[in-house]
Amino acid sequence: MVAVSAPYVAGFLAFREVPFLVEAVQRVQQEEPRLKPQVLLVDGNGLLHHRGFGVACHLGVLTDLPCIGVAKNLLQVDGLARDELHREQIRSLQRGGDTFPLTGTSGNVLGMALRSCNSSKPLYISVGHRVCLETAVRLVQSCCRYRIPEPIRQADIRSREYIRKQMCSPVKVPSSGPERKEKAELDD
């Protein structure tokens, strides 16, 4: 369990969560050294970001591991919007694996919208660190049993269950201030 104090501010997610994500990666290396993460899937964006450096970039640099941003909602930046054109592009995604590029007004391709499995709502994939967008999309698609890629989904499910047990189990004795949950992401 970790204690998060920094508030969530759109565009500054990394400043709230990246310290705990780095901690989690280091804990894996120390407590389970035989596990060697080759890539991290992050619940958030990479280059698809106001300043082109979202939490997936932060975590990648700090851990020196390949990193992929996987967002469940479009971060409206560089002219990208959830307008009618965007909704039309989403409708054009017919099958799992279908994609369309997220090209900003600047002309840069900031990421890809990906239809994973049978979900009509796409994922927004972007480069975090040491991986190209095409590889990122293929890798995410390859580990989607449901809409959310399984590593992130399992991290989410298990962290929530941990929190639930934490609250329903007998109270501790010399407790301190209120804590918050540790969140998801992770490897393979």
Nearer to DNA, 43 or 93 (CB): 43
- Residue 135's Cβ-side half-sphere holds a number of Cα atoms within 13 Å equal to 12
* Among the listed residues 26, 29, 76, 166, the single contact to DNA using CB under 7 A: 76
Q: How many residues bind DNA (CB under 7 A)?
A: 25
Structure tokens at 144: 């989607």
Q: Does 63 bind DNA (CB under 7 A)?
A: no
Our CB check for DNA shows the closer of 36 and 180 to be: 180
Q: Which of residues 12-41 bind DNA (CB under 7 A)?
A: 12-14
The one segment of 50-58, 87-95, 97-105, 129-137 that binds DNA by CB under 7 A: 50-58
Interface residue with DNA, options 44, 111, 149, 151 (CB under 7 A): 44
DSSP string, the chain: -B---SPP-TT-HHHHHHHHHHHHHHHHHHH-TT-----EEEEB-SSSSTTS--HHHHHHHHHTS-EEEEESS----TT---SHHHHHHHHT--STT-EEEEE-TTS-EEEEEE--TT-SSPEEEEEEESS-HHHHHHHHHHT-SSSS-HHHHHHHHHHHHHHHHHHHSPPPSS--S--B-----B--
C-beta closer to DNA: residue 11 or 101 = 11
72 is a contact residue toward DNA (CB under 7 A): yes
Contact set for DNA, span 79-118 (CB under 7 A): 82
Piece of 72-80, 88-96, 137-145, 164-172 that binds DNA (CB under 7 A): 72-80
- Residues near DNA (CB under 7 A) are 8, 10-14, 43-45, 49, 54-56, 69, 71-77, 82, 156, 183-184
